[in-house]
Amino acid sequence: MIGNVPRRVVITGIGAITPIGTGVEGFWAGLQARRSVVGPVTRFDPSPFRTRIAAEVPDFHPGDFLPERRSRRLDRFGQFSIAAARLAIEDAGLDLPKEDRDRIGAMMGTALGGVAYAETQYPAYLKEGPRGVDPALALTVFAGAGSCNLAIEFGITGPNSTNGMSCASGTIAIGDGFRAIARGDADVMLAGGAEAPLAPLCYGAFAIIRAMSTRNEDPATASRPFDHGRDGFVMAEGTAVLVLEERSRALARGAPVYAEVLGFGTTNDAHHMTSPRPDGQQAARAMRLALAEARVGPGEVAYVNAHGSSTPLNDSTETLAIRQVFGDHTARLAVSGTKGYYGHALGASGAIEAAVCALASHRRWLPPTVNLASPDPACDLFHVAPEGREADPEYLLSNSFGFGGINASLVFRRADGR
């Protein structure tokens, strides 16, 4: 705070490891390709389940980001977290040895963390007893491993937390990181989400409750937010970490600035563990809270990156909530749901979609909703055209909604030197 005025916070680095691409340029190229990368599950045998498709990260080699010895002591979730953070730090041009690392912290989000790795250790326990289990297991399932691994890897000793708020986790982590800088608790925050859920029990838990698409014969069309034929989400893995930085110091060191974070809002439906509240009121309130903190009117927002999970209830309820917030402006509000590209990486999705907003703002191009072939009348929004859309949005909003009734929204402004 400067007096009672919150400090301004900008995004100066993006680290993304996703099914459509790695690093800023790889991720952006994946968005520009305007196609889904969902395919058959290859990480395990999915034949017992109704759903047998996913969006996997191809060609991830932890040795590209970590020494071999360190890599062996981490599960895929931990490897993802550190790798994405390293990419973000490099992208931001942060020279950590020269920084006051007491003023740099980490906020991460994840729905399942290291649970998938723990699942792989149970057969070893049954076969060989305790001596067959990886001694690092306790550290991989530790809920705070996401942010604590970043602190250890990069020697950053500022505010540190990992939240487990289902599919809103990454968005909440960025919101918490934004506020830590705004109130003066830190100058730089690594903030984002990571998810590595592709193991039989974790995957099967969602298949059993019929939350996932069963378009097994045509996986590339399975994730289809807002489409009349949507039948469930497609599970994905991946991670995104952003470097958030106090604006004046970022400009002083000549850092690249993708966008400014202006506001954050989060609420709970208090309704059901899996179904959204039918009236959309609390989802709408999360958006209103974020806009209020940003001091932005609904009519000023040009683009919404929707949660758009491709589930029957979520997409129509989100549409209702958007209409409650934006009223008549909804007809002019460009909307896309980018999970059609890369599926739903649970707690990492909000961070990935914050990266989408930052890049869309910086590069003046809005991505489409992939696979939106027949828009559902209950999802009557102004959807970005299939080829994407060149645009120069000043204000953007990103939504994330999760199991347990969690709602979270972020508001961004383009980087224009003001």
Q: Give yes or no: 344 in active site.
A: yes
Q: Which amino acid is at 22?
A: T
Q: In terms of residues, how long is the chain?
A: 418
Beta bridge partners of 240: 16, 193
Q: Which residue of the set 167, 202, 357, 379 is catalytic?
A: 167
Contact 86/192 with Cβ under 8 angstroms? no
Query: Does 383 qualify as catalytic in the annotation?
Result: no
Catalytic one of 307, 357, 379, 383: 307
Residues near 204 by beta carbon (within 8 Å), at least 6 away in sequence: 48, 49
Kindly name the residue from 148, 202, 344, 362 that is annotated as catalytic: 344
What residues act catalytically? Answer: 167, 307, 344
